[in-house]
Amino acid sequence: MSQARFQKMQREKAKREKAQAKAERKAQRAEEAELAAESDDDSDAPPQEQVIAKLAKLHEQFDDDQIDFDTFEERKQELMDQLQV
């Protein structure tokens, strides 16, 4: 076998191995993304819109003197902890 032919075979083999490794990495990333999406769906965190609506209602209650400052701050912190940034 000539040197040129051997080198070409080596390059093609390396190219196939590289493509296979890339396909495996892509499949692994897709699987990890799928698992992450499932775990996000399973979380018990309320949707952001609901938390924001609760914050707005809390501010209205404080502005109308229905709750005192300490209660307002305590509930506000609980709601802020639920927000995903």
pLDDT in tens, 1-38: 799 999 999 999 999 999 999 999 999 988 888 887 76
Residue 29, amino acid: R
Residue with tokens 């769906």: 41
Residues 52 and 82 both lie in one domain = yes
Residues 82 and 48 both lie in one domain = yes
Residues 5 and 37 both lie in one domain = yes
Residues 38 and 48 both lie in one domain = no
Residues 71 and 37 both lie in one domain = no
**How many structural domains comprise the chain?**
2
Residue with tokens 């995903």: 84
Q: pTM to 2 decimals?
A: 0.46
Residues 38 and 55 both lie in one domain = no
Render pLDDT for 51-71 as a digit per residue (tens, 0 to 9): 899 999 999 999 999 989 999
Range of the domain at 34: 1-43
Both tokens of residue 15?
């190219």
Residues 51 and 75 both lie in one domain = yes
